[in-house]
Structure formats: C-alpha cells, structure tokens
A and B are shown apart, each in its own frame.
Chain A
C-alpha cells in the first residue's frame, strides 16, 4: 500500500498551523508574562512566579493587571496545543473522508482523555 503525498498535504498545512498558533500564543504569553513580572518588581516575591491561578479567575486576574495571569495563560496555551492539534488532524482527515485516520485520531484522543482521567484519580 503506497500512501501518496497529495493526500496529506492539507493535513500538513492545518496541523502545522494549529501547532504553530498554539506555540506562538504560548511563547508570547510566557515570555511577555515573564518580562512583565520582572519589570513590575516581582510582585508577591521571588517565588510567586510559580503561583498557579485557578482557571475561572484567570481572565479576571489578567484584566486586574496581574502578570502571573499572563504566565498561567501561556501554560494553558502550551498544554492545550496538543489537543487542538489532534482535533485539527481529525477534522482534516474527516474532510478528506479518510475515515481510517479519523478513527486513529479519535482513538488517540480517547486514550489521552482516559489516561488523564485515570492519572488524576
């Protein structure tokens, strides 16, 4: 069975875009957050940089001018990127009616979710 390049061209484009967008957002949030935190004189002390802000308070803290919220958003973008990339791959394979790889992508997503759920118990 030979899998010819044109079948995967769209997948390359969209999966690449998803991964790059997530990475850029994450990189921008983390690097700007870090600079902001340093420029603001490390509010909360030197160890505050490791503070984890609950998800529901993230936007509120960001609008209140808390640099740690931007850092936390960077972390969120980074960890969401694989899931978004996977979802993009599934959608592009579905658009190509390549059901076999839609199933493979869905299995990866299911395993990922199941593994996370199991680990967090």
Chain B
C-alpha cells in the first residue's frame, strides 16, 4: 500500500485505471438506471416515484462515502505524512459535494408527490444538508491552504472532525422521528423486493466505480498542477541566479 504513495507508481497505475473506472462506471450506471426507470413495476405505496430512488440512493451512498474517503485519507496523511493521501482527500471533496447535492435535489423532488412537501427540517435531511456545507467548507479551506501555502494539517483535521456527521446521518432515522423511512438495507438483510434491489445494486456499483474514476482524475489534475508549478518555480529561480 505504501508503494503506491510514490507519485510515479501512482501515475503509472492511474493512467490506465482512470478511463477503465470511468467507462465501466458509466456503463453499469446506465444499465442500473435504465432498468430502474423502464423495467420495474410501480411500487404499491410510492407508485412511479419509486424510480427516483435508483438515482437518489447511490447519490446518498457516495455523498457519505466521499466524506468517509476524506476522513480516512486525512488520517493517513496525519499519521504517515503521505502527500498523496492529502491529495486524495482534496480530490474526493468535489465529487462528494456534487453527489450530496444530487441526493438532496432528487430527495426533495421525490418528497413532493410522496410526502406532500419539498422539504422538512428532520434529522436525516438536515444532517445531509450539513454534510453539503461541510464539503463547501472543506473545499474552501483546502484551496486557501494550497494557494497561500499553509499547513495541509488544517484541512486534514477539519476532514476528521467533520466525519462525526457520518454516523449521525446514518442513525438519524433511528434516533429521531422522521418522515424519511428507516434503513431498508442493513448488514446482510434487505427489506427491498428483489425486483427493485437488483437494479439498485447495479446502479450503486456503477456510481461507485464512476466516483473512483472521478477521484483518480482529480488526483492526476492536482498532482500535475503541483509538478508544473514546482518546475516553473525552479526555472524562474535558476534564471534569477544566472
């Protein structure tokens, strides 16, 4: 694992893994979503709005997964000082924020015909909105540190502290009364009928592969910018001395 912390080895791996993850993610997501929209029957209670869940659930999973990736990468950076771990945390922030926003938007659109309202300030929805603001804060902080040359430990600590929100989101429907239904899938058990479960699982796997490809592409972009800046700075310094 430590071997991949070397930027050269990482780039050699990421070069073929990025398009592979992106293409397989797009194909599987398209299969899962098309199956969910066109091929499943309407739900007994939700009717046709059940089809929204095939995009809402994977987006929610990756909104939370993105911050979990930030927290793990931040911990690795703080403990082992791997610069690539700090880069991985920064790279996961933008896709995590986009998937969280998609989760909130699609959930709100689903809520209007199902609950009769676009929004309620209950535990699940509010903690998910807090997650979106945490992403915005993390991105602003990481960008400011990269631009002004501050310590990368600051966004890493923010990433770890913000992870407190993940179990709160997960348990919110159990701890507080909520319009949102309790968890339908738990460890080894599912309350979802297989006719809905299979396209949902395919969409979740597809979105996860897509997320991995996006994070790798962001890491490559951030690394290339750092390397270009360092090279140009060295050149400018060399010219000044000469």
Q: Do chains A and B stick together as partners?
A: no
* Chain A residues engaging chain B, CB cutoff 8 angstroms: none
